[in-house]
């Protein structure tokens, strides 16, 4: 496949394409940077890195979802908006406005960027359609941008195949089949009425304790965060006190399948319900989360999952039925999207990468929250994105993490369930 050759969408890419017919599902990753580059330098760096990643020069074409495809487009600049604000002025409102505004999938490229210039500091916001990429793709893109701004050169990458092909799923696109009820490829261009983003950064000391304690307890940071979020949500949302909390986990296939630094949608999704018994302990809960997720991190599971989802598009269902199936199959209270410990350097010449935030995305479910996690430079960042506000959720999560990392004992779940949101009123 050449850089400009058209390619049919893979299964997971089609999933987001269908969801985009109903509402916006684009996402953002944000970098906080010490130092400034000139406006035209940001423009040049965007153009250079865009050429490195073929998925950033495509639109989605076709009007049959059995044959919808990425179409390569020449000379399509990534839209760049420059904003000037006072030093340390909060950038959250800028991000919220960007998440409200859809990305038109019929016009290349399917991404845009915002640079917030402050005195001695920069905030870089990158937004992407989900059919062309995932959170790790955007984090790697930001690293590439800073690398180019520092004066280094990067090689162009070849187009990344669909995850179906990488996982060994046999493609069977029906070139002449038309599925009823779907006569256009345009996505919803209606802005989201409301977006709320809240964020919190763990201290370097607490981040280190969490990493070390998770390892000693034979679980992962993701497992510990999942457990803490379930308990925090039960503390802060009375409607969930007695109900299971469903977490939707987007899981990267890069390590499992040996995929490099390409910009592409390289994740699978699993939704798991959690309703721990009061007599269970926190770290037992975190280990169970890790065990369930580990079972999905094999080439065989990824292949089976893609094959099962793929059947949605080849059984003569109309688009409304597929939308409903996807809606029902992805019901969740929290989507926990974790970029993990990012091994990026921080020094890029005159610029210093300080923090990464996200991914931040609204899902199909209005009542759901997305919790984005990134660990960089020894500090873990948390964001929660939703149509509704999630007051106290991140603070409750931080307090639980602090408690379980400080305690030498394995605290029982019941101790956390006795607490409520009012117990977090003293947290700054």
Check which CATH number belongs to the domain holding 236 and give it: 3.30.559.30
Task: Provide the strand spans (E) within 18-110.
Answer: 27-34, 58-61, 69-72, 80-84
Between 21 and 272, the more confident residue is 272
Q: What is the reported pLDDT for 239?
A: 87
- In this structure, are 17 and 115 located in the same domain? yes
* Residue 182 falls inside a structural domain: no
Mean pLDDT of 64-76: 86
Residue 136 pLDDT greater than 60, yes or no: yes
Q: Both tokens of residue 115?
A: 């640079």
Q: Both tokens of residue 186?
A: 């345009």
- In this structure, are 26 and 132 located in the same domain? yes
Q: Both tokens of residue 336?
A: 């926990």
Residue 40's domain comprises 7-167
Q: Cβ atoms within 10 A of the Cβ of 296, count?
A: 18
| Main-chain dihedrals φ then ψ at residue 272, nearest 5 degrees | -130, 135
- In this structure, are 135 and 30 located in the same domain? yes
Dist CA 406 CA 359 (whole Å) = 28
Residue 330 pLDDT greater than 50, yes or no: yes
Q: What percent of the chain has pLDDT over 70?
A: 92
CATH number at residue 87: 3.30.559.10
Dist CA 24 CA 224 (whole Å) = 30
- In this structure, are 64 and 143 located in the same domain? yes
* Residue 82 falls inside a structural domain: yes
Number of domains into which the chain is organized: 2
- In this structure, are 225 and 289 located in the same domain? yes
pTM (predicted TM-score): 0.93
| Main-chain dihedrals φ then ψ at residue 405, nearest 5 degrees | -80, -30
Query: Cβ(127)–Cβ(99) under 8 Å?
Result: yes
Of the three residues 149, 167, 185, the one that is the final residue of a domain is 167
Q: What is the reported pLDDT for 25?
A: 86
- Alpha carbon 285 to its chain centroid, in Å, reads 24
Kindly report, residue by residue over 364-376, the tens digit of the pLDDT: 888 899 999 999 9
Strand partners, 252: 267
- In this structure, are 147 and 266 located in the same domain? no
Query: Cβ(364)–Cβ(327) under 8 Å?
Result: yes
- Alpha carbon 359 to its chain centroid, in Å, reads 4
pLDDT-derived band at 21 (thresholds 50, 70, 90) equals confident
* Residue 375 falls inside a structural domain: yes
- In this structure, are 114 and 253 located in the same domain? no
Q: Both tokens of residue 130?
A: 């989900």
- In this structure, are 163 and 78 located in the same domain? yes
């Amino acid at each position: 496949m050449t850089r400009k050759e058209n390619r049919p969408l893979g299964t997971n890419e089609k999933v987001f394409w269908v969801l985009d017919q109903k509402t916006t599902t684009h996402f953002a990753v944000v970098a906080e940077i010490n130092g400034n580059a000139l406006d035209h330098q940001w423009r040049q760096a965007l153009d250079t890195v865009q050429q490195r990643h073929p998925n950033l020069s495509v639109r989605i074409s076709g009007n049959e979802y059995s044959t919808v495809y990425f179409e390569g487009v020449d000379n399509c600049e990534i839209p760049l908006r420059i904003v000037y604000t006072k030093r340390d002025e909060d950038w959250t409102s800028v991000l919220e406005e960007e998440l409200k505004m859809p990305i038109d999938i019929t016009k290349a490229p399917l991404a845009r960027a915002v640079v917030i210039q402050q005195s001695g500091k920069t905030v870089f916001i990158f937004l992407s359609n989900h059919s062309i990429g995932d959170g790790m793709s955007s984090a790697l893109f930001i690293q590439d941008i800073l690398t180019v701004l520092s004066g280094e050169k990067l090689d162009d990458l070849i187009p990344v195949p669909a995850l179906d092909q990488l996982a060994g799923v046999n493609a069977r696109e029906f070139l002449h089949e038309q599925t009823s009820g779907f006569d256009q490829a345009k996505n919803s261009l209606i802005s989201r009425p409301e977006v709320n983003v809240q964020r919190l950064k763990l201290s370097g000391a607490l981040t280190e304790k969490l990493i070390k304690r998770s390892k000693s307890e034979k679980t992962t940071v993701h497992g510990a965060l999942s457990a803490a979020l379930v308990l925090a949500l039960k503390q802060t949302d009375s409607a969930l006190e007695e109900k299971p909390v469903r977490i939707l986990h987007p899981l990267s296939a890069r390590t499992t399948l040996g995929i490099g630094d390409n910009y592409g949608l390289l994740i699978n999704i699993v939704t798991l319900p959690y309703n721990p018994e009061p007599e269970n302990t926190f770290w037992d809960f975190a280990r169970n989360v890790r065990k369930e997720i580990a079972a999905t991190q094999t080439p065989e599971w990824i292949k089976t999952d893609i094959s099962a989802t793929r059947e949605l598009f080849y059984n003569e269902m109309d688009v409304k039925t597929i939308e409903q199936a996807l809606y029902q199959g992805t019901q969740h209270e929290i989507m926990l999207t974790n970029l993990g410990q990012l091994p990026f350097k921080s020094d890029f010449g005159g610029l210093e990468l300080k923090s990464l935030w996200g991914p931040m995305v609204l899902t199909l479910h209005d009542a759901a929250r997305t919790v984005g996690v990134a660990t960089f430079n020894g500090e873990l960042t948390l964001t929660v994105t939703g149509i509704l506000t999630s007051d106290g959720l991140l603070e409750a999560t931080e307090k639980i993490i602090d408690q379980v990392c400080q305690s030498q004992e394995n605290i029982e779940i019941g101790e956390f369930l006795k607490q409520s949101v009012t117990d977090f009123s003293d947290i700054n």
